[in-house]
Structure 1
Amino acid sequence: MNRLGILLSGRGSNFLAIHRAIQDGRLPGTEIAVVLSNKSAAPGLQAARDLNIPAHHIPTAGLPPEERDLPYIAALREAKVDLVCLAGYMRIISPAFVDAFRDRILNVHPSLLPAFPGLESQTQALEFGAKIAGCTVHFVDEKMDHGVIILQKAITIEDSDTPDTLSARILAEEHQAYPEAIAHVLSGQYTAQNRRYIKNKN
């Protein structure tokens, strides 16, 4: 059984999308082992508890990255996770965290990286006048929004789009892309070198 550890800071919509993918058979042989959050009131934590998934608040306020990540590393190791999925976790993780789960941490970002990294990617895209937007699922390394890209999904930016409408349409793509990327990675049928993620042919 593949065991996932989910980190989130908010409503947990991508966490719930992953859970749905497990329930409907798109991620066979997979379970969510633990959900962790830096926010005690994160709706995603309560959603996990409602699903009888172990869910814990680990406070991080005021701590340097190296210290705040130690209890997360410990909790994920205790849960024996195979893959760590950042699902709206609004903290930059430390190099020590990355090293503890090297090539086993995924993130979804609401832009077609390397375009528009960081916060408010949808606003960045609109202000730049981009015609195409989308989402990226990538491995996490020591740099922000930088790791090897697993897959991307694109949408057309409409003239009528606002940051809110664009965000909503990209989020719908994230909900499809994240489970798909997790399935790819858990299959082990890929190689990643020179920043290229290549699915192996059967």
Structure 2
Amino acid sequence: MSITKKRVAVLISGRGSNMKTLAEAASGPRASYEIVGVISDKPEATGLNHAAALDIEARAISRKDFPDKTTHEAAIDAQLKRWNVEIVALAGYMRLLSADFVETWKGRMVNIHPSLLPLFKGLDTHRRALEGGLRIHGCTVHFVTAEMDGGPIIAQAAVPVSPDDNEDSLTRRVLAAEHQLYPLALDLVATGRAQLVGNRVAFDHLGASSGRERILSPSTGHDGEADLESLARFTP
């Protein structure tokens, strides 16, 4: 039986490493989504070249080419509609989106953030985790709301912090966890197993019929690789 894949666009501002990971996952035979386009607010973003190399349509829609935020976002929205996009995935998109734009894509726009939200919203998350003496760090995929990094959580991956970690080593291990987590979380959204209901995420996993909300939280080892078997374990 053929699968009708959800049409996903990825918004980036830089390297696009998570975008590449999503695109690789989308090429699998049982993928629930396809990456139909990539948009960057920075024309120099190397992720645009990576997208083109993967035969994904890529567009630079630079903020400086528009008189204000409203017209810039209108251009992005118009491009998303031309691609018939169903889900928007933010992957290192470094521009805050307006409440109006977020409302347009409510329940259909997700983001990955390099911390265990609600800890360390914003920038420099790894440095702040180290300065705070945390023993557990990680990453979060969440639905996007008007509050920066404040949307309901879809999935999280935990990464242990070693005593000898520095910002670079911790960054690398969290990024490895991001690359494991984001395709899995996007699959939950694309298949409808994770949906935004009010200000919470409602889950329907693996044929569960209880109707209870559950939390997805794959564990990670010291190398930052996600333990995929843990995805079958859910905590009510």
Please, what TM-score do these two structures have when normalized by structure 1? 0.94
Larger radius of gyration: 2
**Are 1:26 and 1:179, in contact at CA under 8 Å, matched by a contact in 2?**
no
**Are 1:149 and 1:195, in contact at CA under 8 Å, matched by a contact in 2?**
no
Q: What SS is found at the alignment partner of 1:152?
A: strand
How far, CA to CA, are the matches of 1:116 and 1:64 in structure 2? 29
Measured after TM superposition, the shift of residue 63 of structure 1 is 4.8
Equivalent positions of 1:33-182 (< 5 A) are 33-61=36-64, 63-182=67-186
Q: Deviations for 1:110-139, whole angstroms, at most 9, x for unmatched residues?
A: 000000010010111111111100000000
Measured after TM superposition, the shift of residue 25 of structure 1 is 3.7
Q: How many residues align?
A: 201
Measured after TM superposition, the shift of residue 194 of structure 1 is 6.3
* Counterpart code for 1:136: T
What CA RMSD, in Å, does the superposition of the two structures yield over aligned residues? 1.6
**Identity over aligned residues, as a percent?**
40
Q: What SS is found at the alignment partner of 2:63?
A: coil
Q: Deviations for 1:85-120, whole angstroms, at most 9, x for unmatched residues?
A: 001111111112112211111000000000001001
How far, CA to CA, are the matches of 2:54 and 2:28 in structure 1? 15
**Are 1:95 and 1:142, in contact at CA under 8 Å, matched by a contact in 2?**
yes
**Are 1:13 and 1:44, in contact at CA under 8 Å, matched by a contact in 2?**
yes
Question: For structure 1, which runs of at least 5 residues remain unmatched after alignment?
Answer: none
Question: For structure 2, which runs of at least 5 residues remain unmatched after alignment?
Answer: 208-236
